[in-house]
Homo-oligomer: A and B are copies of this chain.
Amino acid sequence: MTKSPLSEQHRHHNLEQSRAEIIELLSRQALEMTVVNRWQQPGQDLVTQLTELQHRTAIGQRLSRFHPADVAFVLESLDPGARDIAWGLVRPQNRGAVLLEISASVRRALVQDMPASEIAALASPLAAEDVAMLIADLPAEIRQQVLDTLDGPERAEVTSVLSFPKGSVGAAMDREFIAVPVDATLSDVQRSLRLQKAIAAQTTQLFVVDDKQRPLGLLALAKLLQSDPDERVRDAMSELAAVFHTDEPMRDVVHAFEMYDLVTAPVVNLHDHIVGRVTVDAVVDELNERAQSDNLRQVGLTRDDEDLFSPARQAARRRWPWIAINLCTAFLASRVINAFGQIIEQLVALAALMPIVASLGGNAGQQSVALLTQRLTMGKLGPGELQRVLLRELKVGAINGALYAVVLALITLSLYGDAQLALVIAAALLLNLMLAASVGVLAPSLLAKFGRDPVMGSSVILTASTDFMGYLLFLGLAATFLI
Contacts and interface: CB of A to CB of B under 8 A. Distances in A.
Contact of A355 (B6, B223, B358, B382): B358
Contact count band on A: 35 or more
A106 interface: no
Contacts of A225: 190, 193-194, 199, 221, 224-225
B10 A260 contact: yes
Main secondary structure of the interface of A (DSSP, over half): helix
A185 to B, nearest CB: 15
Given A4-B215, A199-B226, A382-B19, A399 B316 contact: yes
A309 B388 contact: yes
A475 to B, nearest CB: 10
B363 A322 contact: yes
A101 to B, nearest CB: 8
B6 A240 contact: yes
A281 to B, nearest CB: 5
A36 interface: no
A59 interface: no
A136 interface: no
27 contacts: A2-B272, A6-B216, A6-B217, A7-B241, A10-B260, A20-B383, A199-B225, A201-B222, A263-B263, A280-B281, A291-B377, A292-B374, A294-B294, A299-B370, A305-B371, A308-B389, A309-B389, A326-B360, A327-B404, A327-B407, A331-B356, A334-B352, A337-B352, A351-B351, A351-B354, A355-B467, A359-B463
A392 interface: yes
B312 A399 contact: yes
Interface in A267-324: 268, 272, 280-281, 283-285, 287-288, 290-292, 294-296, 298-301, 305-306, 308-309, 312-313, 315-316, 319-320, 322-323
